[in-house]
Structure 1
Amino acid sequence: MAKRVESPSSLNTFKQCKRKYYYQYVEKLPTLPNIHQVRGNIAHSCLEDFYDLDISTVNEDGFEMHFKKEMQKMLLMQWMKYKPRLQVLKLNKDQERFYFEETMLMLMNWTGHFLNDVQNEMEKGKSLQEAFKALTPIREMRYQSDNYSVQGFIDAIHHLEDEVHIVDYKTNAKFDFKDSIRLQLAIYSLLYFEKHGVLPSKVGIFFLRQKLKMISVDEELLKLAQREIELVHAHTSITENIFDYPRTITPLCRWSTGECDFYKTCKPHNQKN
């Protein structure tokens, strides 16, 4: 049986609950849309497009307000673009307003940090335009390894002097490197290393509710990725029998405001497998 091309998301799903992995990646049952997913897509689109701004005529006096206004306009535009997907969620007006305003606060928080970085670059003698260019990352890059049968989409790759920093954006995650995030960053590091032959200096998450958090990349991080990838392939490449993908029953099956996408199919609280 051929190896499935995995991703940080699929590997973490396997670790969380093998039955959920089976439904999503073996049976390929549809997942349900939710506001956190849609809002995340909107925020990512704004952050990606922000660097395409034409700032050739922007004056260094008052550039901060210009960037803030541009980000606000981007969110309005992206929110309208995603309106059909938002309508599917059947949010009431108060709920939609809440998520819009919350997303705006996140993007304004990110913009504030970006403005500080611009100011720091300008203090080194760069013009506004030079500082903006220096801080512009390579965005939304897809990496795939045939050797490891794994792929990943990297939000931002920053080349800062002689260092490479890989950054992922998170809208909902707490300011903490839990195991799932550490594995995601390890896989990104492995993919980058395999393609370019050099280790990225640091990888991290920009938690949009807080700030950027980075860790250094070393051999141990690469070994973590290799080990977890092989563990999943060792299982998924030899069986597609549902009974070889047991359920892990936790509060993530169903909680006060929602449930797993496959709750009704899985029926985790039924004693039968």
Structure 2
Amino acid sequence: MSSFALSPSRALDFLSCPLKFRYRAIDKLPDPPSEAALRGTLVHAVLEQMYKQAPEGRTQEHAFSLLGPEWEKLSQEDYARQVVPTEAAEQELLEVSRSLLQSYFRIENPQMLAPAAMEQFIRTKIGNLNVCGFIDRVDLSPTGQVRIVDYKTGKSPSVRFQDDKIFQMLFYAMMWQSDRGALPARLQLIFLKDGKVLTIDPTPQQVEQMQERVLGIWNQIETAARQHAFRPRRSPLCRWCAFQDYCPAFGGTEPPQPEDATAHLLSAAD
């Protein structure tokens, strides 16, 4: 088994609630399947397949034609049928996914883009810490500049709630610089539900601050893991949490922290 690596999602889990981080990263408790997550997986799969075509083939009609085959593959998973148990629910999923693809084509013209990679997995080091993540798309300009693009099938957050999204994108920039030795010129987050785009042109100072912040988060995670002290953090997000039955803040019982899984988590820093 390879050593653990901290992803932006798990880092954000810890910032949101250390106990939620533990249940996802150490105990590996599953989140209940949701239609939103399923829809996101489907739309990402369609866009990935579409970009395998030559530029002239990257049309809205072709993207629509991929919905059926990609859903057929996805529907073989047990969780997919839990979320979409009926033909009517399936049709609704496909219709909403189709509208998200329409939104995408209003934002970008894929025939004019030159992706260097799709669903790019990166695993690298920040100091002595292993970090990893999947980047939806990497574009390369004729002058060699890199743009990192991420799709979200939900709507854009208000300015007040953009911090998590900015954290994720700067995490990607940090990984890219560590792995490739150069800072991406642009970070772009596309929200398909409302057609808005969040753009960041990262600076070396921002990435340096991000490195310091991530290492600081890891130090807190490491301390909590060694002390078996992942505490719940109450917030409005608790109402949607899948782990309330195991949360002392909601009268639940916290199970013993698994020792082997804790050791694997701590392998992230060597």
Normalising by the smaller structure, the TM-score range is 0.7 to 0.9
* Alpha-carbon shift at residue 265 of structure 1 (Å): 1.6
Residue pairs, 1:41-80, within 5 angstroms: 41-54=41-54, 67-80=59-72
8 Å CA contact 1:17, 1:246 repeated in 2: yes
8 Å CA contact 1:24, 1:30 repeated in 2: yes
Q: Which amino acid aligns with 2:101?
A: L
Matched, 1:81 2:73: yes
Matched, 1:23 2:23: yes
Matched, 1:142 2:121: yes
RMSD, aligned α-carbons: 2.5
Q: Distance in 1 between matches of 2:192 and 2:167?
A: 20
The share of aligned pairs that are identical, in percent, is 22
8 Å CA contact 1:19, 1:242 repeated in 2: no
Residue pairs, 1:93-132, within 5 angstroms: 93-115=87-109, 118=111, 131=112
8 Å CA contact 2:156, 2:196 repeated in 1: no
**C-alpha distance 157-237 of structure 1, shift in aligned 2 (>3 A):** same
1:253 matched residue in structure 2: 238
Q: For 2:132, which of 141, 151, 164 is the aligned residue?
A: 151
2:33 matched residue in structure 1: 33
* Alpha-carbon shift at residue 92 of structure 1 (Å): 4.7
**C-alpha distance 173-104 of structure 1, shift in aligned 2 (>3 A):** same
Please, which moves more after superposition, 164-173 or 134-143?
Answer: 134-143
Aligned pair count reads 244
Q: Distance in 2 between matches of 1:271 and 1:29?
A: 15
8 Å CA contact 2:119, 2:137 repeated in 1: yes
TM-score, normalised with respect to structure 1: 0.80
Q: Distance in 1 between matches of 2:66 and 2:196?
A: 21
**C-alpha distance 176-198 of structure 1, shift in aligned 2 (>3 A):** farther
2:207 matched residue in structure 1: 222
* Alpha-carbon shift at residue 248 of structure 1 (Å): 1.2
Q: Distance in 1 between matches of 2:86 and 2:209?
A: 44
* Alpha-carbon shift at residue 211 of structure 1 (Å): 3.8
Deviations 1:14-41 (A, max 9, x none): 0000110111112222222211111111
Give structure 2 stretches of 5+ with no counterpart: 255-270
2:260 matched residue in structure 1: none
TM-score, normalised with respect to structure 2: 0.80
Q: Distance in 1 between matches of 2:19 and 2:251?
A: 14
Q: Distance in 1 between matches of 2:52 and 2:208?
A: 36
1:123 matched residue in structure 2: none
* Alpha-carbon shift at residue 103 of structure 1 (Å): 1.3
Q: Which amino acid aligns with 1:246?
A: R
Q: Which amino acid aligns with 1:22?
A: R
Residue pairs, 1:198-237, within 5 angstroms: 198-209=182-193, 210-237=195-222
Q: Which amino acid aligns with 2:14?
A: F
Give structure 1 stretches of 5+ with no counterpart: 119-130
Please, which moves more after superposition, 170-179 or 34-43?
Answer: 170-179
